[in-house]
Amino acid sequence: NAGVTQTPKFRVLKTGQSMTLLCAQDMNHEYMYWYRQDPGMGLRLIHYSVGEGTTAKGEVPDGYNVSRLKKQNFLLGLESAAPSQTSVYFCASSYQQGAHSGANVLTFGAGSRLTVL
């Protein structure tokens, strides 16, 4: 099993350009998440999805959009990239909460490193 796969692994954008990060999981997980990780800030939740066709805002959603058209895929879009969006982006997935005694156990991808110039 591949687990959680993120593409691309690296990307450099110019301010104002748009791009989409793709996350795919093969574990039949209901829940999927997008986080960003910045030095000194830790992991911050951008958006998440509790099932196919659903999305919800996390802690830092501004400037990002997401879609979950298929259960196994979760896309993160940047419509007009800004230097403040330079970060490492992590996708994660988990079973529906309650399957592991209520603990929300996340499986993470390897990350996508984005630089906005």
Partner 1 sequence: QKEVEQDPGPLSVPEGAIVSLNCTYSNSAFQYFMWYRQYSRKGPELLMYTYSSGNKEDGRFTAQVDKSSKYISLFIRDSQPSDSATYLCAMQRSQGNLIFGKGTKLSVKP
Residue type present at position 15: T
Q: How far is the CB of 80 from partner 1 (least distance, A)?
A: 27
Binding mask 87-116 for partner 1 (x = CB under 8 A): ---x-x----xx--xxxxxxxxxxx-----
Is 49 a binding residue for partner 1 by CB under 8 A? The answer is no
d(CA 15, CA 33): 25
Answer for which of 58, 61, 63, 77 binds partner 1 (CB under 8 A) is: 58
Q: How far is the CB of 45 from partner 1 (least distance, A)?
A: 6
d(CA 25, CA 63): 24
Is 64 a binding residue for partner 1 by CB under 8 A? The answer is no
Contact predicate 110/10, CB 8 Å: no
Instruction: Please name the residue that has the structure tokens 């991808």.
Output: 109
Is 4 a binding residue for partner 1 by CB under 8 A? The answer is yes
Question: Which CB sits closer to partner 1, 17 or 86?
Answer: 86
Q: Could you tell me the two tokens for 117?
A: 């110039």
Question: Which CB sits closer to partner 1, 28 or 102?
Answer: 102
Contact predicate 44/100, CB 8 Å: no
Question: Which CB sits closer to partner 1, 19 or 43?
Answer: 43
For 37-50, letters b (16+ CB in 10 Å) and e give eeeeeeeebbbbbe
